[in-house]
Structure 1
Amino acid sequence: MEKIKEGELPIIAPEDAIPPAMVALFDFDGTVTHCDSLMPFLRFAVGRTRFWAGMIALTPAMLRYGLGGFDRTRFKNTVLGQYFGGWRTERLMGKVERFNKTILPALCKDEALARIRWHHEQGHRIVLISASPEIYLSSWAATLPIEAVLATRLEMRDGIVSGRIDGQNCRGPEKVTRLTDYLGGLDGYEFFAYGDSGGDREMLAIAAHSFYRPFRRPLAGITSRLRFLKALL
């Protein structure tokens, strides 16, 4: 595997043989964005008062999660159920549309968006793989040359949001599982992968060109926190 220092971007060398299909894999939160996107989405969807009231109600679950009493999937189900359980699908989709227009653009990194467009110009396929909800990532990705979004699905039944995950949380090994299912296997592909956390480890490991936190600027941590706090207030 080609290992490249943080912040470096690749130059593709010509191949003598028939080249494999090039596919660029992007994590979302912290890679394409400056910060987490789920909490800002929750805050936007339910409003300031209900969001913070929900945070207070979720305090016991947060403590249990922090102490190892909840796994990530169970904790995410608890959070989603607190805010969206019982919502009608069209109500949630209306929030998604406005969030993607008014909030999400300010959370995205210009460098990451430019890299997505660069891959498109090279003729590479582009796949977004994220633990964040597919419901808002799919419509956001439709504005860019992204072929597919493999993300965490929300369970919906008869037009009602259950407040639970449908299937697995798309993190860690699940990212590779979802990609394998989507492509019908991994043979015959050469991957570029961009990630920023332990949840991207398996995705980065399958790539010939892996990039860990490539779009981080000096003082990036401060910038990320400020953008995150602004989205929650």
Structure 2
Amino acid sequence: MNRKLYLFDFDGTLTTKDSLFDFLKFSFPNHYNKYFLIFFPFFILAKLKLAEPGRIKEKFIARFLKGKSYHEIQSLSNRYFEKNYPLIIHPKADEYIKSVSNYHDKFIVSASVNFWLQPFADHYGMGLICTEAEFDEQGYFTGKFASENCNNEQKKIRIEKEVDLSLYDEVIAFGDTSGDRAMFELATKSFFKHFN
């Protein structure tokens, strides 16, 4: 049997909405609109490539979560998963992932942060390659990322670093934006907006 590696972008590929904004809005309903409005001009600059998207994302997330303990954030993430799975997952994607034999390996590869992605990865029995949060020695979120923003070329770099591609006969990748192109370069088959 051919051994296959499945690589799935998360936001917009497996989901019907952007999980970053959805997670923060769900977890902090009283503060979300105020902070979003403060950051809105910076999101526009990032969209226009006049500011680095990863830095804007880092600062936005820090506004909500900096100083919170690993356990607090894990609790928020688990609650988000429990209330929002499977609502934000494309039904076809859910069905497809569950149909992939455990003989093959599956990874979520995402620019989103490991906080709220981990419960989804655990549920599906998938590996997780994503933007990682930095915690201090006492276990509190510093407001910084411990890795580069896992998008564009970084997706390819992280996959090559964390997965031995020589073990696989086929690499099958799913994405929905130009940020997935570098990941597609590693694939023997790639699917664009396959589930939506």
Alignment: residue pair count? 194
Residue 100 of structure 2: SS of its match in structure 1? helix
Instruction: Give the alignment partner of residue 182 of structure 2, picking from 191, 202, 221.
Output: 202
Q: Which amino acid aligns with 2:188?
A: A
| Equivalence map 1:18-37=2 (5 Å) | 19=2, 21-37=3-19
Q: CA RMSD in A?
A: 1.7
Segments of structure 1 that go 5 or more residues without pairing to the other structure are: 1-13, 217-233
Task: Indicate yes or no: 2:53 matched with 1:95.
Answer: no
Q: Which amino acid aligns with 2:9?
A: D
Alignment-derived partner of residue 28 in structure 2: 46
What is the CA deviation profile of residues 26-61 of structure 1, one whole-angstrom value per residue up to 9, with x for unaligned ones? 1111111112111010111212x2001111222342
Contact 1:111 1:215 in 2 (8 A): yes
Q: Which amino acid aligns with 2:184?
A: L
Task: Indicate yes or no: 2:143 matched with 1:160.
Answer: no
Alignment-derived partner of residue 175 in structure 1: 155
Shift of 1:188: 4.1
What is the CA deviation profile of residues 91-146 of structure 1, one whole-angstrom value per residue up to 9, with x for unaligned ones? 2111111100002421001111111122226x321111111111221122211132
Task: Give me the TM-score of the superposition, normalised by structure 1.
Answer: 0.78
What is the CA deviation profile of residues 51-85 of structure 1, one whole-angstrom value per residue up to 9, with x for unaligned ones? 01111222342343344331111111121121112
| Equivalence map 1:132-147=2 (5 Å) | 132-146=112-126
CA distance in 1 between counterparts of 2:179 and 2:131 reads 13
CA distance in 1 between counterparts of 2:55 and 2:96 reads 34
Alignment-derived partner of residue 107 in structure 1: 88
* Structure 1 runs (4+) greater than 6 angstroms displaced: none
CA distance in 1 between counterparts of 2:159 and 2:123 reads 21
CA distance in 2 between counterparts of 1:119 and 1:172 reads 26
Segments of structure 2 that go 5 or more residues without pairing to the other structure are: none
Residue 107 of structure 1: SS of its match in structure 2? coil
Task: Give me the TM-score of the superposition, normalised by structure 2.
Answer: 0.91
